[in-house]
Amino acid sequence: MDTPPYTPPATEYPSVDSLQIHYCDFAYEEKGPFRMPVPDIGEIPAKTFAELLSGNLMDIYVGKQKRHWLLHRNILVYHSTWFQKQIEEGNKQNYGKVELSDDDPRAFELLVKWLYQGKIDNVSEMPMDKKWDYADACQHLYVLCEKLNLPLLKNQAIDQFRKGCFEAGLVPGPEEMKPIYDRTPPSSPFRKLVSRIAARQIMDPESQSDASKYRQCFETSADFAIDVVNAIKEAAGGKLFHDPTEEDGCYYHEHLPGQRCNSRSKKPNS
Give pLDDT tens digits for 158-184. Answer: 999 999 999 999 999 999 999 999 999
pLDDT for residue 264: 54
Report, as an integer, the average pLDDT of 6-20: 44
pLDDT for residue 269: 54
Share of the chain above pLDDT 70, in %: 81
Name the band, by pLDDT with cuts 50, 70 and 90, for residue 52. very high
More confident residue, 262 or 73: 73
Task: Write the pLDDT tens digit of every residue in 240-257.
Answer: 888 888 877 787 888 887
Name the band, by pLDDT with cuts 50, 70 and 90, for residue 186. very high
Which are the contacts of 77, defined by CB distance < 8 A and separation ≥ 6?
16, 19, 21, 83, 84, 87
Q: Which residues pair with 62 in a beta bridge?
A: 67, 100
Long-range contacts of 61-67 (CB under 8 A, 24+ apart): 61/97, 61/98, 61/99, 61/100, 61/101, 62/99, 62/100, 62/101, 62/103, 62/104, 62/105, 62/108, 63/100, 63/101, 63/103, 63/104, 63/105, 63/108, 64/101, 65/105, 66/99, 66/101, 67/105, 67/108
